[in-house]
Structure 1
């Protein structure tokens, strides 16, 4: 005999769809130290990026006749705050235009932590599903307690026995290693003065989920673009929308795939981002929507979310040193 199962309709919220472009191109993800270097630094950045944007567009043109491509730019107002939107954004837009580039969407990095009173980073953290290494027996505390996420088995910690015996060293092991391990251990947050400070890789992982149209809160889209109607930008970062639409583009902010153009000093950070993306239990409804729609357009996406994100890392003129988190 089959038993009927009754559920409240509100118990399983429907995942709302979002508009999707074919590709989201990030034209910059710089720290405040880069802006402090002045317009010349931005000029060099956009001049180099322009070369690669043309190549990226040509690649998409080869796959579809009418590509929908949107561009975005991320400003770091989370780890430090330099200048004001009224001073900084016009400078960014001017230097991008000088290089022949248009920024469709501008986002604040702090919005990857909290946007419209929604704790986005906290929500994504609760969706982390660690891949237990073969032979592990639960001795390692969960990521929700430690704030550290690895792609395999860390070097085992073995205390001395009562007789002082010391066991031999064992190397860490990557879970999905091919011939040899490439082991990574990523810090997702730190605690300072009782406040959680999310790491750059974790916020960037949230950012990638948003750009890929896979970020939801109770089934509803988050980081929805707000069109900027005024001429002057505010003098306070908190008065600037989390995600601002700067043009009248018809290409959506989120897309089937992303391409991020940035200096090669960010390579380690983005390696960590991919590790994090591989261990997030992404909203199943959002995944199905993107898979169905991309396949219908003849541009199916990879099953692995991390594989939908591509990068171009360029060498900075003069060998600029890496900017550090504040």
Structure 2
């Protein structure tokens, strides 16, 4: 149950949320993978299952030791459905199939999130229009100031690109007679050499005002939700809604946008939000998660939310850090050849 927390210098009441110690993301599949056969999904889940158990046991041991042997260590698991870039599938087909495969792999999955819900989410009382959640987070992104900025390139708030340093001189105006030496990009916090990264957070089609959010940016919103760090006028957003009987007839709608942003699919689940997050992902998501780290390093969370987090962390004997990306951990699965899907035409009935 949420309880209020009031800043001494502000009138907005910041509500706190229940927190687990660790949130474990059990993997990721594209909608194409979820919509097609089961062999590849089952194969990856079999690889993930022992990792989930090991990481959960390690987290319980580590946090229990930090708390002087206290055993009430809460670990929750989650999965994010890619319904933003392809939402034309039927959740009544996709979700039961996936959740059945998860159960068969021996994984206890607590929550399922929707990627499009990271862009737009309804208020919990449905009293007004949905919250443009991605826009709320985008407004909290503060780009580092650039030296000798000449104003030629639009700022991050307009262009949608976020870098971790100074871009190359290719961005500067040039003329045929300009013989100045090329200046390469440079990372702000470079140690000996730069690892420069320029992330596209959103885009717009020419003449179109609608924003198309990038995968790294929506993944950043997902991580903020998992860390319990998002509020709207002091209220938590995208609080989990129970859909325990997901296999029952008519339990699910025929459109993804009719589902909650976060669904609780197991009755006895630890809280969705957590002090730390761990994501077990295929290696192809390494670049996206690098981009997520950078975006979170530039998100300016309101002080009241930080105060709530720090209070809860102290009560749970957890060392606090205001650097959001420090609370993230990843395990990337090596790339192996997955089994081909069987041809339904050659399968006899009942096999």
Segments of 5+ residues of structure 2 without an aligned counterpart are 1-7, 65-70, 123-129, 340-351
The correspondence of residues 112-261 of structure 1 with structure 2, limited to 5 A, is 112-116=118-122, 117-136=130-149, 139-156=152-169, 157-160=171-174, 164-192=177-205, 194=208, 195-228=210-243, 231=248, 232-261=251-280
CA distance in 2, matches of 1:302, 1:319: 39
Q: 1:71-150, aligned counterparts within 5 Å?
A: 71-116=77-122, 117-136=130-149, 139-150=152-163
Separation in 1, partners of 2:234, 2:319: 23
**CA displacement at 1:229 relative to structure 2:** 5.7
- In the aligned structure 2, how far is the partner of 1:96 from the partner of 1:139? 51
Instruction: Please identify, of 97-106 and 206-215, the stretch whose mean Cα deviation from structure 2 is larger.
Output: 97-106
Q: Confirm or deny: 8 A CA contact 2:24 2:76 kept in the other structure.
A: yes
**TM superposition outliers: structure 1 runs of 4+ over 2 Å:** 9-12, 133-141, 156-161, 229-232
Distance 1:55 1:229, change over 3 A: closer
Tell me what 1:283 maps to: 302
Instruction: Name the SS of the counterpart of 2:332 in structure 1.
Output: strand
Q: Deviations over 1:157-200 (max 9, x none)?
A: 33335x82221100111011111110000001111372211000
Shift of 1:228: 1.7
Tell me the CA shift for residue 13 of structure 1: 1.1
Distance in 2 of aligned mates of 1:313 and 1:165? 46
Residue pair 1:257, 1:301 contacting (<8 A) in 2 also: no
Residues 33 and 316 from structure 1, CA distance in 2 versus in 1: closer, same or farther, beyond 3 angstroms? Answer: farther
Distance 1:73 1:110 in 2: 14
Query: 5 Å matches for 1:11-30?
Result: 12-30=11-29
Alpha-carbon distance between aligned partners in 1 of 2:338 and 2:40, rounded to the nearest angstrom: 12
Q: What is the TM-score normalised by the length of structure 1? A: 0.90
Cα separation, 1, equivalents of 2:257 and 2:140: 27
Structure 1 residues 160 and 133, CA gap change in structure 2 (3 angstroms):
closer
How well do the aligned residues superpose, as a CA RMSD in angstroms?
2.1
Relative to the length of structure 2, the TM-score reads 0.84
Aligned residues: 311
